[in-house]
Every structure is written in structure tokens, then in C-alpha cells.
């Protein structure tokens, strides 16, 4: 090994290979795994030089002085990608929850490098936790969106986030500016890749105080402006967009035609099975208030308490004002759930059925209650790759019944969700039952299936145990005389005045003692 220290710039990364530009103007291919953690396109690296002339034993540079900077300046000019020379080698520290391997989530302090001209630095304020994050943690690298090398390059988890832009790279300066509020559509589908914020990126996910938004988010038009009066509504835009996408994905075909008419049947009969959970509540709210509302909407579950709460949040009285006959039904005691539900339609069956739980019996019930040309939307995502259920193919042939599956919405679905929330047409606040800080994020994701209630909302700049809104009062008494007890008392009073729902005033209170302005 030669003693001379050589300077390099990481020009690009191609399928696990890092292409470096050296001081001699030549490029060198080295395994990405041989570089220090935090190395990325545009990084400055020092290395010893092996006898074969190839660089070895890398060090990630974090200085900005003297001859070192002059040499690096020359390298940036030689870079094939014309990586812009940074003004300095500043790194920003942030707390983030990262996925390392199966069921291995860690709250860590990490360094974010200086953004490039095609990136954006953002402050995350709220992130709602999705069951999909639990599935990603459960499967680790086996998950379709999680990188194979996640053990060596952990990713920030969380994809339902809302925040404020801090700094904009030159490439996007004409479209975004510091101070803008934003949400992200994580389903980028960039060049056919499944990579998504919250699953696939080292520096971009909702469980972090600050993130670097990669260029493909902007290229795909998935960084969306948000003008709502509370950040938590922005966090709910992503799950609501999944719901909206499901309603748009259903289709029907008129006899004698091969043209698919997209969307649920306007004025038709619809059912949401296993629908008293958070996503089912959002679906019922959307179904009642969308421009293709059904005339009959049945929401089923097997838990009376959940059904009671659902009816309080999306009330049959409110639905009736929009011409929808909304009924919440417990099918647990029905001897024949299929006959029981079909009877509610006068025997015709349902035009549109949404299955919100990956349970074989629920799927088969959905199949059994379909009307002619009925569309079953399998919305729930199973973790078992071998999950299957019976489907009546006699009815497929003679009754034109059919099935679709949706996983996530697109950017137009998210825009629709944001617009409906900003106008107050829908109010998904009822989806939220628990509030916590970033300190509670990892345990919440790991244990999500066993935590009762609906959506869990996390404020990333807050330290707070995950607590049910219904338990705020008890928590205030338990912690009486402490700042945390005072916070819980205030939150209890605010939420009680808003029908037990999380709201803008509660968000403002929880952020009051942070450096973040709501």
C-alpha cells in the first residue's frame, strides 16, 4: 500500500458499483459496500492507493480547508455527471428510525449530507403509521420495496408524512421554496422501480426529523403542495389516496360492450367488509361524500365497539343528507353472512364490494354477495405470499363478476384527497386514535397488529409515549404536577371539545414547546 492519500468524488452508483473520479481524471469502479456509511453520489472521499493503482481504505471527508478543497474542486469539474461543487462539506444531524433487518428498527442520530442541486431538504413534522410499515419490518429485505442490502445500508421507515421545505436545490428553485408545506406520494413508480420513500431510501422517510428528498420524487411530480391548516391532515393524504385509488380502480361493463366504465356504480349498492378500522372509516367517509356515491352502503365488522365508534364518526344521518343509506352491521352472529347481507339489497347483491381484511372467509363472503357485473376490490394486503381464497367461477362466466386488487393510489388520487380535506368535504381525523413522539415509533411499528384502535400519529420533533386519545385524561392524572401531565390535560380538554377527535388546536398545543411552528 502506498502512503499517499488520494482524493476522489463519488460520481455515480450503478447496481452496487461505485464509480469514482480520481485526481488523475480517471474513473475507478469499486464495490459500493467498500465505501463508508453515508457515501452517496457527490461524496468526497480520501483513500490510500494500492499497488495496483486502485483506491482502498476509504475515508468520508467532512472538512473544507486548504489544498483539500482545491483538489476536490478539480474533481467535481471532471465528474461525468457534473456534480455541483458544494460550498462546504457540512453535515446535518437528525434523529430517525431506521430499518436494519427483520423486526430491527432503531431510533438513531444520523448525519444528512449537504443536498445536491437536484435534491430538497425538508423538515418532517407528522407521520401516521401504516400497517404496510409493519409488513416491511416483518419481512425486511424480502419485502418488495426494501433493498436487498438493507442490513448494510439501513433505510428510514414511514411513508405517510407531511412537513415543511427547508432548502431547495437549484434545479427545483422555480417550483418550490423554503417554507412551503408539502406531502409526498410515495408510490413513485420511477422507471418501473418499486423503490419508495419510507421503504427504500437512506435519507428519506417519515420517521425522521429531517429528510433529503431525492430527485425522482420531483421528477415523478410526487412532491405535492399542501395548504391545509394542520399537518396531520397532510399525513392522512397518503392513506386517503389509497382509498380513493381503490374506488377509481373498480370497473363495470355494460352488456354487449367491452368498454370498462371505471369507478364504482353511482347510486348503486356498495359494501365495505371488515370496514370499521381506520382505512374502512376513511372509505366510508369518501363513499358518502364522493361524486359517485352509492345509494346503499353497508359497512361490516365483528366488533360492536368499533362499529359504534364508526357510526359516530361517519354517521348514518350525515350519509342520509347525501342520499346514502348507510348501515353498520355486525356479521359475527349471522348464521349465513352471505344470505344476511344479500337480503339487505333485496336479493340483487352488491355492485361494488371492498374487502379490507386479508381473511379467507371475508374474501369468500365478498364473492358471495356480488351482483351481476359486481366488482370485488381486494384492498387488504396479505403478508403470506401463498394467501388464497375460493372464488365462484360459475358467476364469473355467467354473471360477469370480477375482481381487482389495489395497493396505493396515484398522484391524482392524492390531489383529490388533499382537495377534499382542504375544503372540509371529508374529515379523516376520526381515523386517528393514538398520538406519540418519535421515541415511540419503533415499538409502535413492531407491535402494531396488537395495539387496539385505528391510526397512530407521530410528531417527529416530540418525545411522548404512544397514548390513546381516550386515555389523555387518565394520563394527565397519572403525571399530575409534571410538564407532561400538563400537556396531557390540555390535550384532553381540547380533544373532548372536538368530540374526542384529534384536531388543529391539539396539534398546535403539542408543537408549542418545540422549535416547530404549527
Three-state secondary structure string covering 187-242: CCCHHHCCCCCCCCCCCCCCCECEEEECHHHHHCCCEEECCCCCHHHHHHHHHHHH
Please identify which residue in the block is written with the cell numbers 392524492.
414
> Is pLDDT at 20 greater than 70 in this prediction?
yes
More confident residue, 30 or 297: 297
pLDDT of residue 64: 41
pLDDT of residue 49: 60
Average pLDDT of the segment spanning 47-76: 58
What is the residue-averaged pLDDT of the chain? 90
> Is pLDDT at 182 greater than 50 in this prediction?
yes
Write down the CATH number for the domain with range 91-226: 3.90.180.10
Q: How confident is the model at residue 56 (pLDDT cuts 50, 70, 90)?
A: low
> Is pLDDT at 73 greater than 70 in this prediction?
no
Residue 235 vs residues 28, 46, 88, 268, 310: alpha-carbon distances, Å? 43, 41, 33, 31, 20
Average pLDDT of the segment spanning 229-257: 94
Q: How confident is the model at residue 336 (pLDDT cuts 50, 70, 90)?
A: very high
What does DSSP assign to residue 84? P
Q: How confident is the model at residue 345 (pLDDT cuts 50, 70, 90)?
A: very high
What percent of the chain stands above pLDDT 70?
90
Domain chopping of the chain, boundaries: 2-78, 91-226, 241-411, 429-511
End-to-end CA distance of the chain: 55
pLDDT of residue 87: 44
Is the Cβ–Cβ distance between 5 and 22 less than 8 Å? no
What percent of the chain stands above pLDDT 90?
74
What pTM does this model have? Answer: 0.77
pLDDT tens column, 269-290: 999 999 998 899 999 999 999 9
Q: Where are the beta strands (DSSP E) in 302-424?
A: 325-330, 350-355, 370-378, 402-405
pLDDT tens column, 74-123: 555 556 555 555 444 446 899 999 999 999 999 999 999 889 899 999 99
pLDDT of residue 31: 82
Residue 415 has which C-alpha cell? Answer: 390531489
The CATH architecture annotation of domain 241-411 reads 3-Layer(aba) Sandwich (3.40)
> Is pLDDT at 342 greater than 90 in this prediction?
yes
pLDDT of residue 112: 93
Superfamily of structural domain 2-78: Nucleic acid-binding proteins (2.40.50.140)
In sequence order, what are the residues at sequence separation of 6 or more whose Cβ sits closer than 8 angstroms to the Cβ of residue 325?
Answer: 295, 296, 297, 316, 319
pLDDT of residue 515: 67
pLDDT of residue 46: 78
pLDDT tens column, 392-444: 999 999 999 999 998 888 899 999 999 999 899 999 999 999 999 999 999 99
The Cα–Cα gap between 286 and 409 comes to 14
Amino acid at each position: 500500500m502506498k502512503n499517499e492519500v488520494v482524493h476522489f468524488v463519488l460520481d455515480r452508483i450503478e447496481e452496487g458499483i461505485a464509480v469514482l473520479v480520481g485526481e488523475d481524471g480517471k474513473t475507478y469502479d469499486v464495490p459500493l459496500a467498500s465505501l463508508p456509511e453515508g457515501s452517496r453520489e457527490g461524496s468526497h472521499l480520501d483513500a490510500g492507493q494500492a499497488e495496483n493503482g486502485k483506491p482502498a481504505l476509504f475515508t468520508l471527508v467532512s472538512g473544507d480547508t486548504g489544498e483539500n478543497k482545491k483538489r476536490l474542486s478539480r474533481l467535481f469539474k471532471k465528474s461525468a455527471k457534473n456534480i455541483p461543487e458544494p460550498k462546504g462539506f457540512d453535515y446535518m444531524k437528525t434523529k430517525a428510525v431506521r430499518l436494519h433487518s427483520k423486526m430491527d428498527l432503531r431510533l438513531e442520530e444520523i448525519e444528512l449530507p449537504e443536498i445536491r442541486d437536484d435534491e430538497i431538504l425538508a423538515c418532517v413534522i407528522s407521520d401516521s403509521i401504516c400497517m404496510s410499515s409493519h409488513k416491511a419490518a416483518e419481512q425486511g429485505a424480502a419485502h418488495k420495496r426494501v433493498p436487498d442490502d438493507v442490513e448494510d445500508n439501513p433505510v428510514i421507515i414511514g411513508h405517510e408524512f407531511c412537513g415543511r421545505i427547508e432548502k431547495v436545490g437549484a434545479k427545483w428553485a422555480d417550483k418550490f421554496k423554503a417554507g412551503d408545506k408539502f406531502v409526498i406520494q410515495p408510490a413513485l413508480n420511477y422507471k418501473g422501480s418499486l423503490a419508495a420513500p419510507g421503504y427504500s431510501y437512506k435519507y428519506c422517510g417519515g420517521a425522521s426529523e429531517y429528510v433529503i428528498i431525492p430527485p425522482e420524487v420531483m421528477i415523478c411530480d410526487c412532491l405535492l403542495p399542501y395548504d391545509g391548516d394542520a399537518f396531520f391532515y397532510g399525513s392522512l393524504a397518503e392513506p386517503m389516496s389509497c382509498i380513493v385509488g381503490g374506488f377509481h380502480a373498480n370497473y363495470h361493463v355494460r352488456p354487449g360492450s367491452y368498454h370498462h366504465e371505471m369507478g364504482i356504480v353511482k347510486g348503486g349498492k356498495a359494501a365495505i367488509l371488515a370496514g370499521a378500522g381506520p382505512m374502512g372509516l376513511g372509505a366510508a367517509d369518501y363513499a358518502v361524500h364522493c361524486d359517485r356515491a352509492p345509494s346503499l352502503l353497508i359497512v361490516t365488522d365483528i366488533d360492536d365497539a368499533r362499529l359504534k365508534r364508526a357510526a359516530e364518526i361517519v354517521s348514518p344521518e350525515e350519509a342520509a343528507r347525501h342520499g346514502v343509506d348507510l348501515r353498520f352491521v355486525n356479521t359475527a352472529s349471522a348464521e349465513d353472512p352471505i344470505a344476511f347481507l344479500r337480503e339487505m339489497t333485496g336479493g340483487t347483491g352488491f355492485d361494488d364490494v371492498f374487502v379490507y381484511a386479508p381473511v379467507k372467509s371475508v374474501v369468500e363472503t365478498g364473492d358471495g354477495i356480488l351482483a351481476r357485473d359486481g366488482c370485488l376490490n381486494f384492498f387488504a394486503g396479505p403478508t403470506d405470499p401463498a394467501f388464497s381464497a375460493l372464488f365462484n367461477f360459475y358467476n364469473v362466466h355467467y354473471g360477469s363478476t370480477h375482481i381487482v386488487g389495489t395497493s396505493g393510489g396515484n398522484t391524482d388520487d392524492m390531489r383529490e384527497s388533499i382537495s377534499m380535506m382542504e375544503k372540509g368535504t371529508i374529515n379523516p381525523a376520526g381515523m386517528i386514535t393514538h398520538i406519540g413522539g418519535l421515541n415511540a415509533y419503533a415499538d409502535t411499528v413492531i407491535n402494531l397488529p396488537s395495539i387496539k384502535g385505528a391510526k397512530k400519529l407521530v410528531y417527529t420533533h416530540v418525545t411522548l409515549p404512544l397514548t390513546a386519545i381516550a386515555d389523555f385524561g387518565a394520563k394527565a392524572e397519572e403525571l399530575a404536577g409534571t410538564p407532561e401531565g400538563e400537556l396531557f390535560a390540555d390535550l384532553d380538554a381540547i380533544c373532548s371539545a372536538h368530540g374526542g377527535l384529534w384536531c388543529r388546536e391539539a396539534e398546535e398545543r403539542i408543537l408549542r414547546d418545540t422549535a416547530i411552528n404549527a
